[in-house]
Structure 1
Amino acid sequence: LISTGCALLASTITIFMTTGFSKKGVVAILGAVAGVVIAGILSMYFSYKMAMTGFVSVEALNYSNLLKGIKVKEIISAGVILGSMGAVMDVSMSISSALTELHERDKSIKGHEMFNSGMRIGSDIIGTMVNTLILAYIGSGILSTLFIYLQKEQFPLIRILNFESVAADIVRAFAGSIGILVAVPITSYLCSIFIAQSEQND
Protein backbone atom coordinates (compact mmCIF):
# COMPACT_ATOMS: atom_id res chain seq x y z
CA LEU A 1 0.00 0.00 0.00
CA ILE A 2 2.84 2.40 0.81
CA SER A 3 4.64 1.70 -2.46
CA THR A 4 1.35 2.13 -4.38
CA GLY A 5 0.85 5.48 -2.67
CA CYS A 6 4.43 6.50 -3.48
CA ALA A 7 3.98 5.45 -7.11
CA LEU A 8 0.73 7.44 -7.35
CA LEU A 9 2.35 10.52 -5.80
CA ALA A 10 5.45 10.29 -8.00
CA SER A 11 3.46 9.81 -11.19
CA THR A 12 1.07 12.64 -10.33
CA ILE A 13 3.87 15.11 -9.64
CA THR A 14 5.88 14.06 -12.70
CA ILE A 15 3.00 14.14 -15.17
CA PHE A 16 1.45 17.37 -13.87
CA MET A 17 4.85 19.08 -13.95
CA THR A 18 5.19 17.94 -17.56
CA THR A 19 1.67 18.54 -18.91
CA GLY A 20 0.04 20.80 -16.36
CA PHE A 21 -3.43 20.15 -14.92
CA SER A 22 -5.05 18.80 -18.07
CA LYS A 23 -7.25 15.92 -19.18
CA LYS A 24 -4.23 14.44 -20.93
CA GLY A 25 -2.33 14.28 -17.65
CA VAL A 26 -5.25 12.90 -15.63
CA VAL A 27 -5.83 10.12 -18.18
CA ALA A 28 -2.12 9.24 -18.17
CA ILE A 29 -2.08 9.05 -14.36
CA LEU A 30 -5.19 6.85 -14.20
CA GLY A 31 -3.84 4.50 -16.88
CA ALA A 32 -0.44 4.26 -15.18
CA VAL A 33 -1.88 3.62 -11.72
CA ALA A 34 -4.21 0.92 -13.07
CA GLY A 35 -1.32 -0.87 -14.77
CA VAL A 36 0.92 -0.65 -11.71
CA VAL A 37 -1.79 -1.86 -9.32
CA ILE A 38 -2.45 -4.89 -11.55
CA ALA A 39 1.30 -5.60 -11.64
CA GLY A 40 1.49 -5.37 -7.85
CA ILE A 41 -1.49 -7.68 -7.33
CA LEU A 42 -0.07 -10.27 -9.73
CA SER A 43 3.37 -10.18 -8.13
CA MET A 44 1.86 -10.59 -4.65
CA TYR A 45 -0.30 -13.51 -5.82
CA PHE A 46 2.59 -15.36 -7.44
CA SER A 47 5.06 -14.66 -4.64
CA TYR A 48 2.62 -16.28 -2.18
CA LYS A 49 1.68 -19.15 -4.49
CA MET A 50 5.38 -19.86 -5.14
CA ALA A 51 6.06 -19.80 -1.38
CA MET A 52 8.80 -17.19 -1.67
CA THR A 53 10.47 -16.02 1.52
CA GLY A 54 11.51 -12.60 0.21
CA PHE A 55 15.20 -13.22 0.91
CA VAL A 56 16.21 -12.92 -2.73
CA SER A 57 19.70 -11.50 -2.27
CA VAL A 58 22.83 -12.21 -0.27
CA GLU A 59 22.41 -8.86 1.51
CA ALA A 60 18.94 -9.86 2.73
CA LEU A 61 20.32 -13.12 4.13
CA ASN A 62 23.29 -11.40 5.77
CA TYR A 63 21.05 -8.88 7.54
CA SER A 64 18.15 -11.22 8.25
CA ASN A 65 18.47 -10.53 11.99
CA LEU A 66 17.63 -6.86 11.31
CA LEU A 67 14.52 -7.80 9.33
CA LYS A 68 12.65 -9.43 12.19
CA GLY A 69 9.05 -8.24 12.31
CA ILE A 70 9.18 -7.05 8.68
CA LYS A 71 7.10 -8.80 6.01
CA VAL A 72 10.03 -9.38 3.68
CA LYS A 73 7.89 -11.31 1.19
CA GLU A 74 5.85 -8.18 0.47
CA ILE A 75 9.01 -6.28 -0.51
CA ILE A 76 8.98 -8.28 -3.78
CA SER A 77 5.59 -6.79 -4.70
CA ALA A 78 6.64 -3.34 -3.51
CA GLY A 79 9.69 -3.57 -5.77
CA VAL A 80 7.52 -4.57 -8.73
CA ILE A 81 5.20 -1.60 -8.15
CA LEU A 82 8.01 0.93 -7.92
CA GLY A 83 10.17 -0.75 -10.58
CA SER A 84 7.43 -0.94 -13.20
CA MET A 85 6.06 2.54 -12.51
CA GLY A 86 8.46 4.26 -14.89
CA ALA A 87 7.74 2.00 -17.86
CA VAL A 88 3.97 1.95 -17.29
CA MET A 89 3.86 5.72 -16.83
CA ASP A 90 5.86 6.15 -20.03
CA VAL A 91 3.39 4.02 -21.98
CA SER A 92 0.34 5.77 -20.54
CA MET A 93 1.76 9.24 -21.15
CA SER A 94 2.80 8.38 -24.71
CA ILE A 95 -0.67 7.08 -25.62
CA SER A 96 -2.50 9.92 -23.88
CA SER A 97 -0.30 12.53 -25.53
CA ALA A 98 -0.60 10.95 -28.99
CA LEU A 99 -4.39 10.64 -28.80
CA THR A 100 -4.77 14.17 -27.48
CA GLU A 101 -2.72 15.50 -30.38
CA LEU A 102 -4.78 13.37 -32.77
CA HIS A 103 -7.96 14.90 -31.36
CA GLU A 104 -6.53 18.41 -31.65
CA ARG A 105 -5.90 17.77 -35.35
CA ASP A 106 -9.31 16.26 -35.99
CA LYS A 107 -12.07 17.33 -33.61
CA SER A 108 -14.59 15.11 -35.37
CA ILE A 109 -12.87 11.87 -34.39
CA LYS A 110 -15.22 9.55 -32.53
CA GLY A 111 -14.54 7.73 -29.29
CA HIS A 112 -14.25 4.24 -30.78
CA GLU A 113 -11.91 5.55 -33.50
CA MET A 114 -9.69 7.12 -30.84
CA PHE A 115 -9.69 3.86 -28.87
CA ASN A 116 -8.66 1.86 -31.94
CA SER A 117 -5.89 4.36 -32.70
CA GLY A 118 -4.67 4.07 -29.10
CA MET A 119 -4.55 0.30 -29.34
CA ARG A 120 -2.52 0.45 -32.55
CA ILE A 121 -0.11 2.98 -31.05
CA GLY A 122 0.12 0.90 -27.88
CA SER A 123 0.93 -2.29 -29.77
CA ASP A 124 4.01 -0.58 -31.20
CA ILE A 125 5.10 0.75 -27.81
CA ILE A 126 4.55 -2.47 -25.83
CA GLY A 127 7.38 -4.43 -27.45
CA THR A 128 10.07 -1.88 -26.66
CA MET A 129 8.76 -1.06 -23.19
CA VAL A 130 8.57 -4.71 -22.11
CA ASN A 131 12.09 -5.18 -23.44
CA THR A 132 13.23 -2.10 -21.49
CA LEU A 133 11.69 -3.42 -18.28
CA ILE A 134 13.20 -6.90 -18.61
CA LEU A 135 16.65 -5.52 -19.48
CA ALA A 136 16.47 -3.24 -16.43
CA TYR A 137 15.83 -6.24 -14.15
CA ILE A 138 18.61 -8.23 -15.85
CA GLY A 139 20.98 -5.27 -15.50
CA SER A 140 20.25 -4.91 -11.78
CA GLY A 141 20.92 -8.62 -11.22
CA ILE A 142 23.81 -9.07 -13.63
CA LEU A 143 26.23 -10.23 -10.91
CA SER A 144 23.83 -12.96 -9.82
CA THR A 145 23.37 -13.94 -13.47
CA LEU A 146 27.15 -14.24 -13.82
CA PHE A 147 27.44 -16.45 -10.73
CA ILE A 148 24.71 -18.74 -12.04
CA TYR A 149 26.41 -18.96 -15.43
CA LEU A 150 29.73 -19.89 -13.81
CA GLN A 151 28.01 -22.74 -11.95
CA LYS A 152 25.87 -23.96 -14.83
CA GLU A 153 27.71 -27.31 -14.94
CA GLN A 154 26.87 -27.99 -11.28
CA PHE A 155 23.17 -27.16 -11.35
CA PRO A 156 20.49 -28.43 -13.75
CA LEU A 157 18.18 -25.86 -15.34
CA ILE A 158 15.26 -26.76 -13.09
CA ARG A 159 17.42 -26.10 -10.02
CA ILE A 160 18.51 -22.72 -11.38
CA LEU A 161 14.90 -21.73 -12.07
CA ASN A 162 14.08 -22.59 -8.45
CA PHE A 163 16.68 -20.21 -7.03
CA GLU A 164 14.57 -17.58 -5.29
CA SER A 165 16.51 -14.70 -6.84
CA VAL A 166 15.86 -16.09 -10.34
CA ALA A 167 12.19 -16.84 -9.59
CA ALA A 168 11.72 -13.34 -8.16
CA ASP A 169 13.17 -11.74 -11.29
CA ILE A 170 10.86 -13.85 -13.46
CA VAL A 171 7.86 -12.76 -11.39
CA ARG A 172 8.95 -9.09 -11.58
CA ALA A 173 9.39 -9.24 -15.36
CA PHE A 174 6.09 -11.07 -15.88
CA ALA A 175 4.01 -8.87 -13.57
CA GLY A 176 5.58 -5.66 -14.89
CA SER A 177 4.95 -6.73 -18.49
CA ILE A 178 1.29 -7.46 -17.71
CA GLY A 179 1.06 -4.03 -16.10
CA ILE A 180 2.26 -2.44 -19.34
CA LEU A 181 -0.19 -4.53 -21.37
CA VAL A 182 -3.08 -3.51 -19.13
CA ALA A 183 -2.17 0.19 -19.23
CA VAL A 184 -2.60 0.38 -23.03
CA PRO A 185 -6.35 -0.46 -23.35
CA ILE A 186 -7.22 1.38 -20.12
CA THR A 187 -5.48 4.59 -21.21
CA SER A 188 -6.96 4.33 -24.71
CA TYR A 189 -10.45 3.80 -23.30
CA LEU A 190 -10.15 6.71 -20.85
CA CYS A 191 -8.96 8.95 -23.69
CA SER A 192 -11.97 7.96 -25.79
CA ILE A 193 -14.27 8.93 -22.91
CA PHE A 194 -12.68 12.00 -21.33
CA ILE A 195 -11.18 13.62 -24.42
CA ALA A 196 -13.24 12.63 -27.45
CA GLN A 197 -16.77 12.13 -26.09
CA SER A 198 -16.66 14.89 -23.49
CA GLU A 199 -15.81 17.55 -26.08
CA GLN A 200 -18.41 16.20 -28.50
CA ASN A 201 -21.00 16.57 -25.73
CA ASP A 202 -19.81 20.14 -25.13
Structure 2
Amino acid sequence: MNVLVWLAAILLLLMAWVGGKQGARSFLSLFLNFGVIFLTVMFMMDPAVNPILITFIASILIGCVSLFFINEVNGKTTIAFISTMVTIVILLVFIVIVSQKLMIQGFGEEEEEAISGLSLYIGVDFMKIGASVIIMSTIGAIMDVAISIASSMHEIFKHNPLLSKKELFKSGVSIGRDILGTDTNTLFFAFFGGYLALLIWFKDLNYSIGEIVNSKIFSSEMILILCAGMGVALVIPIASWINAYFLVKTREK
Protein backbone atom coordinates (compact mmCIF):
# COMPACT_ATOMS: atom_id res chain seq x y z
CA MET A 1 0.00 0.00 0.00
CA ASN A 2 2.83 2.39 0.86
CA VAL A 3 4.38 1.74 -2.55
CA LEU A 4 1.10 2.62 -4.27
CA VAL A 5 0.85 5.85 -2.31
CA TRP A 6 4.42 6.78 -3.20
CA LEU A 7 3.87 6.00 -6.87
CA ALA A 8 0.67 8.06 -6.88
CA ALA A 9 2.51 10.93 -5.20
CA ILE A 10 5.33 10.78 -7.75
CA LEU A 11 2.81 10.76 -10.59
CA LEU A 12 1.01 13.76 -9.08
CA LEU A 13 4.27 15.69 -8.70
CA LEU A 14 5.33 14.92 -12.26
CA MET A 15 1.95 15.86 -13.71
CA ALA A 16 1.81 19.06 -11.66
CA TRP A 17 5.40 19.95 -12.58
CA VAL A 18 4.89 19.40 -16.30
CA GLY A 19 1.27 20.49 -16.64
CA GLY A 20 0.79 22.91 -13.75
CA LYS A 21 -2.81 23.26 -12.61
CA GLN A 22 -3.98 21.39 -15.68
CA GLY A 23 -1.68 18.51 -14.78
CA ALA A 24 -3.06 18.42 -11.24
CA ARG A 25 -6.60 18.37 -12.62
CA SER A 26 -5.58 15.54 -14.94
CA PHE A 27 -4.41 13.55 -11.93
CA LEU A 28 -7.67 14.19 -10.10
CA SER A 29 -9.63 13.20 -13.20
CA LEU A 30 -8.16 9.69 -12.94
CA PHE A 31 -10.01 9.20 -9.66
CA LEU A 32 -13.18 10.79 -11.00
CA ASN A 33 -13.16 8.50 -14.03
CA PHE A 34 -12.46 5.53 -11.78
CA GLY A 35 -15.54 6.49 -9.78
CA VAL A 36 -17.61 6.63 -12.97
CA ILE A 37 -16.38 3.20 -14.06
CA PHE A 38 -16.98 1.74 -10.59
CA LEU A 39 -20.56 3.03 -10.55
CA THR A 40 -21.06 1.73 -14.09
CA VAL A 41 -20.01 -1.76 -13.01
CA MET A 42 -22.34 -1.58 -10.02
CA PHE A 43 -25.29 -0.62 -12.21
CA MET A 44 -24.47 -3.35 -14.73
CA MET A 45 -24.91 -5.96 -12.02
CA ASP A 46 -28.62 -5.17 -12.03
CA PRO A 47 -30.32 -7.43 -14.62
CA ALA A 48 -33.04 -4.81 -15.13
CA VAL A 49 -30.54 -2.23 -16.38
CA ASN A 50 -29.50 -2.02 -20.03
CA PRO A 51 -25.66 -2.15 -20.13
CA ILE A 52 -25.54 -0.31 -23.47
CA LEU A 53 -27.48 2.64 -22.07
CA ILE A 54 -25.37 2.70 -18.92
CA THR A 55 -22.21 2.61 -21.02
CA PHE A 56 -23.35 5.55 -23.11
CA ILE A 57 -24.17 7.58 -19.99
CA ALA A 58 -20.78 6.62 -18.53
CA SER A 59 -19.12 7.72 -21.78
CA ILE A 60 -20.78 11.13 -21.48
CA LEU A 61 -19.58 11.51 -17.90
CA ILE A 62 -16.05 10.36 -18.75
CA GLY A 63 -16.02 12.77 -21.68
CA CYS A 64 -17.10 15.64 -19.44
CA VAL A 65 -14.42 14.84 -16.88
CA SER A 66 -11.64 14.24 -19.39
CA LEU A 67 -12.41 17.24 -21.60
CA PHE A 68 -14.28 19.89 -19.63
CA PHE A 69 -12.82 19.31 -16.17
CA ILE A 70 -9.22 19.14 -17.38
CA ASN A 71 -9.27 21.65 -20.24
CA GLU A 72 -12.29 23.72 -19.17
CA VAL A 73 -15.30 24.48 -21.34
CA ASN A 74 -14.30 26.17 -24.58
CA GLY A 75 -14.75 25.78 -28.31
CA LYS A 76 -12.10 23.09 -28.68
CA THR A 77 -13.34 20.87 -25.87
CA THR A 78 -16.99 21.30 -26.86
CA ILE A 79 -16.34 20.22 -30.44
CA ALA A 80 -14.10 17.37 -29.27
CA PHE A 81 -16.88 16.22 -26.94
CA ILE A 82 -19.50 16.30 -29.70
CA SER A 83 -17.17 14.43 -32.06
CA THR A 84 -16.49 11.80 -29.41
CA MET A 85 -20.16 11.21 -28.67
CA VAL A 86 -21.11 10.96 -32.35
CA THR A 87 -18.34 8.40 -32.87
CA ILE A 88 -19.38 6.44 -29.76
CA VAL A 89 -22.99 6.22 -30.97
CA ILE A 90 -21.95 4.94 -34.41
CA LEU A 91 -19.46 2.52 -32.87
CA LEU A 92 -22.02 1.24 -30.37
CA VAL A 93 -24.47 0.34 -33.12
CA PHE A 94 -21.72 -1.38 -35.11
CA ILE A 95 -20.36 -3.28 -32.10
CA VAL A 96 -23.80 -4.55 -31.05
CA ILE A 97 -24.41 -5.90 -34.56
CA VAL A 98 -20.95 -7.50 -34.74
CA SER A 99 -21.32 -9.05 -31.27
CA GLN A 100 -24.65 -10.60 -32.24
CA LYS A 101 -23.23 -12.05 -35.44
CA LEU A 102 -19.97 -13.41 -34.01
CA MET A 103 -21.35 -14.69 -30.68
CA ILE A 104 -18.17 -13.85 -28.78
CA GLN A 105 -19.93 -13.21 -25.48
CA GLY A 106 -19.59 -15.54 -22.52
CA PHE A 107 -16.73 -17.84 -21.57
CA GLY A 108 -14.38 -19.95 -23.65
CA GLU A 109 -13.72 -23.63 -23.10
CA GLU A 110 -10.34 -22.74 -21.57
CA GLU A 111 -12.20 -21.10 -18.68
CA GLU A 112 -14.47 -24.04 -17.90
CA GLU A 113 -12.31 -25.27 -15.03
CA ALA A 114 -12.17 -21.84 -13.41
CA ILE A 115 -15.96 -21.37 -13.48
CA SER A 116 -16.99 -24.99 -12.95
CA GLY A 117 -18.16 -24.35 -9.39
CA LEU A 118 -19.98 -21.13 -10.17
CA SER A 119 -23.54 -20.50 -11.30
CA LEU A 120 -23.90 -19.01 -14.77
CA TYR A 121 -27.54 -18.03 -14.25
CA ILE A 122 -26.83 -14.48 -13.13
CA GLY A 123 -29.33 -12.73 -15.40
CA VAL A 124 -26.74 -10.61 -17.22
CA ASP A 125 -26.70 -10.17 -21.00
CA PHE A 126 -23.08 -11.02 -21.84
CA MET A 127 -23.47 -9.77 -25.40
CA LYS A 128 -24.28 -6.27 -24.20
CA ILE A 129 -21.60 -6.48 -21.52
CA GLY A 130 -19.08 -7.37 -24.23
CA ALA A 131 -20.13 -4.37 -26.31
CA SER A 132 -19.83 -2.16 -23.24
CA VAL A 133 -16.31 -3.42 -22.55
CA ILE A 134 -15.23 -2.51 -26.09
CA ILE A 135 -16.63 1.01 -25.81
CA MET A 136 -15.08 1.62 -22.40
CA SER A 137 -11.75 0.39 -23.75
CA THR A 138 -11.77 2.76 -26.73
CA ILE A 139 -13.27 5.98 -25.41
CA GLY A 140 -9.91 7.27 -24.17
CA ALA A 141 -8.24 6.86 -27.56
CA ILE A 142 -11.23 8.41 -29.35
CA MET A 143 -11.18 11.46 -27.08
CA ASP A 144 -7.43 11.78 -27.52
CA VAL A 145 -7.76 11.97 -31.31
CA ALA A 146 -10.78 14.29 -31.12
CA ILE A 147 -9.09 16.87 -28.88
CA SER A 148 -5.83 16.66 -30.87
CA ILE A 149 -7.63 17.44 -34.11
CA ALA A 150 -9.73 20.18 -32.49
CA SER A 151 -6.68 21.90 -30.98
CA SER A 152 -4.69 21.69 -34.21
CA MET A 153 -7.53 22.96 -36.39
CA HIS A 154 -8.23 25.86 -34.05
CA GLU A 155 -4.57 26.89 -34.27
CA ILE A 156 -4.64 26.61 -38.07
CA PHE A 157 -7.80 28.70 -38.23
CA LYS A 158 -6.36 31.24 -35.80
CA HIS A 159 -3.35 31.89 -38.03
CA ASN A 160 -5.27 31.62 -41.30
CA PRO A 161 -8.93 32.56 -40.75
CA LEU A 162 -9.69 32.80 -44.48
CA LEU A 163 -9.53 29.04 -45.06
CA SER A 164 -12.66 27.50 -46.51
CA LYS A 165 -14.59 24.67 -44.90
CA LYS A 166 -13.17 22.20 -47.42
CA GLU A 167 -9.60 23.32 -46.78
CA LEU A 168 -10.08 23.09 -43.03
CA PHE A 169 -11.56 19.62 -43.38
CA LYS A 170 -8.59 18.48 -45.47
CA SER A 171 -6.21 19.91 -42.87
CA GLY A 172 -8.01 18.04 -40.10
CA VAL A 173 -7.90 14.76 -41.99
CA SER A 174 -4.22 15.30 -42.76
CA ILE A 175 -3.52 15.83 -39.06
CA GLY A 176 -5.58 12.75 -38.25
CA ARG A 177 -3.56 10.59 -40.63
CA ASP A 178 -0.42 11.37 -38.64
CA ILE A 179 -2.18 10.44 -35.41
CA LEU A 180 -3.90 7.32 -36.76
CA GLY A 181 -0.83 5.12 -37.10
CA THR A 182 0.56 5.80 -33.65
CA ASP A 183 -2.80 5.55 -31.89
CA THR A 184 -3.77 2.24 -33.47
CA ASN A 185 -0.36 0.82 -32.60
CA THR A 186 -0.75 2.12 -29.05
CA LEU A 187 -4.07 0.29 -28.74
CA PHE A 188 -2.59 -2.85 -30.27
CA PHE A 189 0.36 -3.02 -27.90
CA ALA A 190 -1.74 -2.02 -24.89
CA PHE A 191 -4.19 -4.87 -25.41
CA PHE A 192 -1.59 -7.45 -26.38
CA GLY A 193 0.71 -6.39 -23.57
CA GLY A 194 -2.10 -7.05 -21.13
CA TYR A 195 -2.82 -10.45 -22.68
CA LEU A 196 0.72 -11.65 -23.21
CA ALA A 197 0.13 -14.30 -20.56
CA LEU A 198 -2.80 -15.56 -22.64
CA LEU A 199 -0.53 -16.25 -25.60
CA ILE A 200 1.91 -18.09 -23.34
CA TRP A 201 -1.01 -20.11 -22.00
CA PHE A 202 -2.06 -21.06 -25.53
CA LYS A 203 1.48 -22.24 -26.18
CA ASP A 204 1.41 -24.41 -23.05
CA LEU A 205 -1.88 -25.90 -24.24
CA ASN A 206 -0.16 -26.80 -27.55
CA TYR A 207 -2.74 -24.89 -29.56
CA SER A 208 -2.24 -24.64 -33.30
CA ILE A 209 -2.56 -21.28 -35.07
CA GLY A 210 -6.04 -22.26 -36.22
CA GLU A 211 -7.14 -23.15 -32.69
CA ILE A 212 -5.77 -19.89 -31.33
CA VAL A 213 -7.54 -17.80 -33.97
CA ASN A 214 -10.83 -19.64 -33.38
CA SER A 215 -10.56 -19.44 -29.60
CA LYS A 216 -13.34 -17.32 -28.12
CA ILE A 217 -10.92 -15.55 -25.77
CA PHE A 218 -8.50 -14.64 -28.54
CA SER A 219 -11.28 -13.68 -30.96
CA SER A 220 -12.90 -11.36 -28.44
CA GLU A 221 -9.59 -9.59 -27.85
CA MET A 222 -8.93 -9.23 -31.57
CA ILE A 223 -12.40 -7.78 -32.08
CA LEU A 224 -11.67 -5.38 -29.23
CA ILE A 225 -8.50 -4.19 -30.98
CA LEU A 226 -10.14 -3.94 -34.40
CA CYS A 227 -13.18 -2.03 -33.10
CA ALA A 228 -10.91 0.31 -31.18
CA GLY A 229 -8.94 0.98 -34.35
CA MET A 230 -12.17 1.61 -36.24
CA GLY A 231 -13.24 4.11 -33.60
CA VAL A 232 -9.96 6.00 -33.89
CA ALA A 233 -10.20 6.00 -37.70
CA LEU A 234 -13.86 7.04 -37.64
CA VAL A 235 -13.41 9.99 -35.30
CA ILE A 236 -10.88 11.65 -37.64
CA PRO A 237 -13.30 12.64 -40.45
CA ILE A 238 -16.09 13.27 -37.95
CA ALA A 239 -13.99 15.61 -35.81
CA SER A 240 -12.52 17.29 -38.90
CA TRP A 241 -15.92 18.00 -40.41
CA ILE A 242 -17.49 19.25 -37.17
CA ASN A 243 -14.50 21.49 -36.47
CA ALA A 244 -14.52 22.88 -40.02
CA TYR A 245 -18.26 23.52 -39.84
CA PHE A 246 -18.19 25.37 -36.51
CA LEU A 247 -15.03 27.35 -37.28
CA VAL A 248 -16.41 28.66 -40.58
CA LYS A 249 -19.74 29.36 -38.93
CA THR A 250 -17.97 31.35 -36.21
CA ARG A 251 -16.15 33.42 -38.84
CA GLU A 252 -19.37 34.17 -40.70
CA LYS A 253 -20.89 35.62 -37.55
TM-score, normalising length: structure 2 = 0.73
Mapped contact 1:39–1:80 kept (Cα < 8 A): no
Where does structure 2 lack aligned partners over 5 or more consecutive residues?
1-52
Mapped contact 2:149–2:176 kept (Cα < 8 A): yes
Deviation at 1:171, TM superposition (A): 0.8
Count of matched residue positions in the alignment of Structure 1 and Structure 2 = 199
Structure exhibiting the larger radius of gyration computed from Cα positions: 2
73-82 or 53-62: bigger deviation: 53-62
Aligned to 1:147: 201
Counterpart of 2:220, as a letter, is A
Is 1:97 matched with 2:148? no
Deviation at 1:61, TM superposition (A): 5.6
Say which of 222, 227, 233 aligns to 1:175: 227
Aligned to 2:214: 162
Mapped contact 1:43–1:172 kept (Cα < 8 A): no
Mapped contact 2:105–2:130 kept (Cα < 8 A): no
Give runs of ≥4 in structure 1 deviating > 3 Å.
Answer: 56-61
Aligned to 1:120: 174
Mapped contact 1:37–1:81 kept (Cα < 8 A): no
Deviation at 1:156, TM superposition (A): 2.5
TM-score, normalising length: structure 1 = 0.90
Say which of 42, 66, 75 aligns to 2:129: 75
What SS does the corresponding residue of 1:4 show, helix, strand or coil? helix
RMSD of Structure 2 on Structure 1 (CA): 2.1
Identity %: 24
Mapped contact 1:43–1:171 kept (Cα < 8 A): no
Deviation at 1:199, TM superposition (A): 2.1
Distance (whole Å) between structure 1 residues aligned to residue 118 and residue 191 of structure 2: 23
Distance (whole Å) between structure 2 residues aligned to residue 117 and residue 14 of structure 1: 25
Compared with structure 1, are the counterparts of its residues 100 and 73 closer, same or farther at alpha carbon in structure 2 (3 Å cutoff)?
same
Q: Give CA deviations for 1:3-47 in whole Å, capped at 9, x if unaligned.
A: 121011111221112332212111101111222333333332222
Mapped contact 1:40–1:175 kept (Cα < 8 A): no
Aligned to 1:10: 62
Deviation at 1:198, TM superposition (A): 1.4
Q: Which has the higher contact order (CA 8 A, sep 6+)?
A: 1
Aligned to 1:138: 192
Distance (whole Å) between structure 2 residues aligned to residue 164 and residue 92 of structure 1: 32
Distance (whole Å) between structure 2 residues aligned to residue 134 and residue 54 of structure 1: 23
Mapped contact 2:149–2:240 kept (Cα < 8 A): yes
Mapped contact 1:43–1:175 kept (Cα < 8 A): yes
